[in-house]
Chain A
Amino acid sequence: MTGSTASGTMPSGRLRLRLEARDQPGLLTHLAVSLLLLVAALLLAGVVMTVAGGNPLDVYRSMFGAGFGSKWGLNDTLVKMVPLTLASLGVALAFRMKMWNIGAEGQLLMGALAASGIALFAVPPDMPQWLALVLMAAAGAAGGAVWGIVPGWLRAQFGVNEIISTLMLNYVALSIVQFFVYGPWGERGFGLTPMFERNTWLPRLTEYADQWSALRGLTLHLGILAVPVAIVFLAILLNRTKFGFEIAMVGDNPDAARYAGVRLRRTMIIVMALSGALAGLAGMNEVSGVVHRLLEHISPGYGYTAIIVAWLGRFNPLAVAVVAFLFGGLIVGADEIQSAGISSLLQGVILFVMVSGNLLIRYRIRLREPETLA
């Protein structure tokens, strides 16, 4: 027996909109709807800008130019894309299993902290660069993983809601970083550590300018190589491995997964560890590839933007990377036009429109003819 009331007679004879489920939305539907929604979001944000007295066309043009219009813009966009992609892939992995890890920011910070610890205290100046970088990457991944395992274990063992615990741990991580950069690791109270030794820096393109002069002045670092590696790793993990299949099962129906012999707790904890490790690597990239020291504001909210990126990429590794690239450009463009808030406004509006427009992918809208009463 269904508990709901029986379907009665149609109360009205007006023409109205009706949602009709699509059987299986194809890739083309996904792309078309996403594009449509993006345009809608830009229009909506444009309205806000117009009301605020700006010219949205000018704004979009200069933002696009700054982010994608030149070699330099593209360089900056790619630099932003690295941490964003890694963190977003981590978030997407957890989301695949319906583990709502919104703690990428904290995991990124802990990764940055752990990698910095290695750079400051475990790397002698004569250590080979590759070894130093491997150690830092391992520490970064481990730092992020620990920050993922804690909420994962709490969820698995006690059913603690991971949305709350991961969010709270973001603040804890920030406080820990603040403690170190103002305290024991700090330099004269500015909220930053001393500069790392050169052998802990991820090489930048400009360092190869002797061979290829076109690279002169480009700050993009070798961390960008982590992007394709992470995409391929995740795509294989999710689609080709037994563990990936277990993630899909748990994500779709945990009861069926349990029934099929999947060890739920173990799966949850491992996924959260991997998710955190990816965000932690993002943190390592920032300290080793961009600023070469740890500072309080090492992340301008990459971990939070990653949630939006993962969602917009529909948790698909390649799509997530594409969105991360676009969002990298968005951040660069917003920096360029020097208008605080435009970037957040756009991110917010895009997410809002995409999430609410999500149903267009699964449903088509039909006009319903007035019901004739039988």
Chain B
Amino acid sequence: MVEMRGISKRFPGVLANDRVDLDVAAGSIHALLGENGAGKSTLMHILSGLYRPDSGTMKVEDRTVSFASPLDAIRAGVGMVHQHFMLVETQTVAENVVLGDRRLGFRMDPSAIRDTVAGLGRESGLDIDPDALIWQLSVGERQRVEIVKMLHRGARLLILDEPTAVLTPQEADTLFDRMRGMARAGRTLLFISHKLNEVMELAETVTVMRQGRVVDTVPKAQVSHRELVRMMVGSPVLFDVTVPPVQQGRKLLSLRSLRVENDRGHTAVDNLSLDLHQREILGVAGVAGNGQRELAEAITGLRKLQAGTIELDGFDVTGSNQRRMIDLGISWVPQDRQHTGTAPNLSIQENFDLKHYRSARRGPFLDRAGQSRRAAALLAKYRVAAAGRHQPVRLLSGGNLQKVILARELSTELRVLVAESPTRGLDVGAIQNVHELLMEQRSRGVAILLLSEDLQEVLSLSDRVAVIHSGRIMGILPRARAEADTIGMLMAGVVPEDMAT
């Protein structure tokens, strides 16, 4: 059905696809497996006409193709269902399905369209009421509308980008049934996933990608969980970090049976318990979207707990708000540097002071002289490359922005540091710098919770590694026993036999 040869695509700073070959057999269910940033989405965006490859050739149904837009792709029979749906909320299912369809003339025949849509739904097993308004539908139903939309436009190859990411487990099961049905009816399905379980359950063939390259394409029947994990994570080269031996201190932060919901009201952190000690880095490994963000927000007081308790140094601080958690010495390096960690149009100095301004002993007034002194000192100490302390932070590079955040979070009397993907997107030198800063805090007695998708980083820095999957801790391993493929399996939600006791 599809034959991609030597596909390369470069984005500023990264080679997203490096001479990728991919073959997909007609009528099969094919999985594209890999960690975040492995290049899966880029490859699929190329196949669906959203990006043009820098080099390489593509054949669809034995015809050489070159797509200038998704419209070209759908004409060739390739349709993609994105993670974020593109539907008009106030219109009906039928209207959404035919929206933008160039085959329609100026006049529409609503009842004919309704019948066509309903027919397509029945045929593919995706029952949807063509008259329902999109905003009334659940996420799972909206996804069906997207699929029917692609079928209506004549997609013979359907690409699904992490189709289960937004679904409940029940909805996911239904989706899998429908996908099998469509494959039996002769359509080809290609889905992106980083969830091992669903790949093993659904796919006939699996292509594993890592760092922009295809590691291998294998029939599912001939491969085990463990082998897939090895292909996904490779054998990570540890960072060159000196981990000075320290005497672990007393228990500082204690999380007991936390339950936290995400923005959509689903359980994101489920009955989670962790202890964090002085002079300890506890790494939490996990694929993005498994509750890390919600966990960090719960600890730092930004997100409400549905259940459970948080103790800080023996005191119950459950239910404290963000302001109090800051005052208690909980620092937080958030994952989203631009949208959470900084105010982009404010200056470096002001961003240094985002929290600290409150502690000035000047009644309602700011201590402007103190701010300037502090900013100058931090700028020098953390070697932020900037035109000066009055430069707006939006003009800083990722690495320097992170330095500003770290400078702010580490320059207080902190006891606990929650660090979310602290080196994501940084270059090697900056990464080294961040790691050294974390180690310095560890030596000073700070308890560090390191949440990261980067296995290499977690393994290099952590005294203990906890693995999170679907909001639960799958296991906690001491540094000595933390091996990449065990952790990889736990990350995928599979408990290896030798650990299941």
- Residues on A close to B: CB < 8 A? 1, 3, 5-6, 8, 23-24, 240-245, 248-249, 252-253, 255-263
Contacts and interface: CB of A to CB of B under 8 A. Distances in A.
Contacts of B368: 240
Given A1-B42, A242-B358, A263-B323, A256 B51 contact: no
B50 A242 contact: no
A245 B362 CA distance: 14
A6 B350 contact: no
22 contacts: A1-B42, A24-B392, A240-B368, A241-B364, A241-B365, A242-B364, A243-B364, A245-B350, A245-B353, A245-B357, A245-B366, A249-B343, A253-B339, A256-B340, A258-B302, A259-B302, A259-B322, A260-B354, A261-B322, A261-B355, A261-B358, A262-B323
A242 B355 contact: no
Contacts, number: 79
A199 B70 CA distance: 76
For the complex of A and B, list the 7 residue pairs with the smallest distance between their C-beta atoms, beginning with the closest.
A261-B323, A252-B343, A260-B354, A253-B343, A256-B343, A261-B322, A261-B326
B12 to A, nearest CB: 10
Contact of B350 (A248, A259, A262, A263): A248
Interface residues of B, number: 39
Given A1-B41, A245-B353, A245-B357, 16 more contacts: A242-B364, A242-B365, A242-B366, A245-B366, A252-B344, A252-B345, A252-B346, A256-B339, A256-B340, A256-B354, A259-B332, A261-B321, A261-B322, A261-B358, A262-B323, A263-B323
Contacts of B332: 259
B442 interface: no
B395 interface: yes
Contact of B340 (A6, A248, A259): A259
Given A242-B358, A261-B358, A5 B50 contact: yes
Interface in B125-160: none
Contacts of A244: 366
B210 interface: no
Contacts of A263: 321, 323
A211 B366 CA distance: 44
Instruction: Identify the interface centre among B332, B342, B343, B360: most chain A CB within 10 Å of its CB.
Output: B343
Contacts of B84: 3
B41 A249 contact: no
A241 B364 CA distance: 6
A97 to B, nearest CB: 12
A67 to B, nearest CB: 36
Contacts of A260: 322, 326, 354-355
Contact of A259 (B45, B334, B364, B365): B334
B330 to A, nearest CB: 11
A253 B340 CA distance: 8
Interface in B41-56: 41-42, 45, 50-52
A243 B51 CA distance: 47
B341 interface: yes
A24 B334 CA distance: 27
Contacts of A1: 41-42, 45
Contacts of A248: 343, 346, 350
Contacts of A23: 395
Contacts of B364: 241-243
Given A8-B52, A259-B322, A259-B340, A249 B354 contact: yes
A245 B340 CA distance: 17
Nearest to B336: A255
A211 B69 CA distance: 82
A263 B51 CA distance: 43
Contacts of B69: 5
B407 to A, nearest CB: 14
Contacts of A255: 339-340
A240 B326 contact: no
Nearest to B49: A5
Contacts of A6: 11, 51-52
Contacts of A3: 84
A1 B42 CA distance: 8
Contacts of A24: 391-392
Nearest to B353: A245
Nearest to B82: A3
A5 to B, nearest CB: 6
A240 B340 contact: no
Nearest to A8: B52
A256 B393 CA distance: 13
B322 A258 contact: yes
A282 to B, nearest CB: 25
Interface string B107-127: 000000000000000000000
A262 B131 CA distance: 45
A6 B50 CA distance: 8
B253 to A, nearest CB: 18
A255 B353 CA distance: 16
B193 to A, nearest CB: 16
A253 B345 CA distance: 9
A248 B354 CA distance: 10
A243 B339 CA distance: 21
